[in-house]
């Protein structure tokens, strides 16, 4: 049995706390909001996970020192925009070599750093790893079969995380490609916004398949240019996560996109979804990275145009469809020029 602190009581943090408790570990769940912590403690129900009760064995607190003290593992599950400030708050109680597993998905807009990089900057004594994949909290909390990937620079760290999380309904693979895992998890949210916008416009399955396929091509181009491995983007944290986020109504990015496609503004869509829409925060960073690394990302460009430049979803879709003619894969060659 391990002692584990889950830092962040959103749906994903709560679902993982339930999973880890079910695996026999001693779990404390931390909320940044005292009132939220008190409500969760009293009701044992997360408002966005109403089908699942939080077991009594899970400690719930707004005391960060208590949540971190004496822990074998810390799971960082706060929205990407709060990762840096939460990590800074954690510093006084972090022990040397503490394993911190980031499960949030995003890119810091101001620095264009991945979230593990942000955590390492704020917590240089920590051993930072990631856990990612196609994993909606609503399904994990109910024990539905799910697969994820634990990424770390050291094999033994990834295998330790694998041993803590894995069970008969939650399968965990390992990988050394932390950068690729994080880029896949962050960038797929931008493509999912596009998929949702297409749904809101009334497009069909053909459009969805095109956005998923061309979306993973964009993600892979940028990821490889930044140093990620191409194999990662064809796996669970690449195409796997992209498929589930583009196709499921559990996806807040897709839901926000649907509303935008139906005519809602970005702000109105985010307010209606009532949860953090990570793709909105990652869209500008994705575009900036594509420019820095000279990588073509037309879907990302059009999502930014809709979100921040007042371009209508209809015009953005038309722009994508009427781009210059080209080969699907420039790496292929004709056998004959005739």
Predicted confidence (pLDDT) at residue 158 exceeds the cutoff of 70: yes
Structure tokens at 181: 């895992």
The reply to whether 327 falls in a domain is no
Range of the domain at 83: 3-176
Q: Output DSSP code: residue 325.
A: P
Domain count, the chain: 2
Query: CA–CA separation, 262 vs 212, rounded Å?
Result: 20
Q: Output DSSP code: residue 114.
A: B
Do 77 and 119 fall within a single domain? yes
The reply to whether 101 falls in a domain is yes
Task: Name the more confident of 110 and 275.
Answer: 110
Q: What is the CA radius of gyration of the chain?
A: 20
Do 194 and 299 fall within a single domain? yes
Q: Is 188 a catalytic residue?
A: yes
Helices and strands, number each (H, E), in the chain = 16, 8
pLDDT at 280: 87
pLDDT at 333: 86
Do 145 and 31 fall within a single domain? yes
- Tokens 């960038």 — which residue? 187
115-127 pLDDT, tens digit each: 999 999 999 999 9
pLDDT at 275: 75
Do 218 and 234 fall within a single domain? yes
Predicted confidence (pLDDT) at residue 338 exceeds the cutoff of 60: no
Structure tokens at 28: 């404390």
pLDDT at 57: 98
Could you say which of 188, 208, 274, 284 is catalytic? 188
């Amino acid at each position: 049995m391990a002692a584990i602190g889950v830092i962040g009581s959103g749906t994903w943090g709560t679902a993982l706390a339930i999973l880890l408790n079910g695996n026999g570990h001693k779990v404390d769940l931390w909320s940044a909001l005292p009132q939220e912590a008190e409500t969760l403690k009293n009701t044992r129900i997360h408002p966005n996970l109403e089908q699942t009760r939080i077991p009594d064995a899970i400690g719930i607190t707004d005391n960060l020192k208590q949540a971190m003290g004496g822990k074998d593992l810390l799971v960082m599950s706060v929205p990407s925009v709060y990762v840096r400030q939460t990590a800074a708050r954690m510093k006084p109680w972090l022990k040397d070599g503490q394993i911190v597993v980031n499960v949030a998905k995003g890119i810091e807009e101001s620095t264009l750093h991945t979230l593990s990089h942000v955590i390492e900057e704020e917590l240089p004594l920590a051993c930072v790893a990631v856990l990612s994949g196609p994993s909606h909290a609503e399904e994990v909390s109910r024990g539905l079969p799910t697969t994820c990937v634990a990424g770390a620079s050291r094999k033994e760290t990834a295998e330790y995380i694998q041993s803590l999380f894995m069970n008969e309904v939650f399968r965990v693979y390992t990988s050394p490609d932390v950068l690729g895992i994080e880029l896949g998890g962050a960038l797929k949210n931008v493509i999912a916004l596009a998929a949702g916008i297409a749904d809101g416009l009334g497009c069909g399955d053909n459009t969805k398949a095109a956005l998923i396929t061309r979306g993973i091509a964009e993600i892979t181009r940028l990821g490889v240019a930044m140093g990620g491995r191409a194999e990662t983007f064809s796996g669970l944290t690449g195409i796997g996560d992209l498929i589930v986020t583009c196709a499921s109504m559990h996806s807040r990015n897709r839901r926000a996109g649907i509303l935008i496609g139906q005519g809602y503004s970005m702000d109105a869509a985010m307010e209606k979804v009532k949860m953090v829409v990570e793709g909105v925060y990652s869209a500008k960073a994705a575009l900036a990275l594509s420019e820095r690394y000279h990588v073509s990302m037309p879907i990302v460009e059009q999502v930014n145009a809709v979100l921040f430049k007042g371009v209508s979803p209809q015009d953005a879709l038309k722009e994508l469809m009427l781009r210059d003619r080209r080969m699907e894969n420039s790496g292929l060659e004709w056998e004959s020029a005739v």
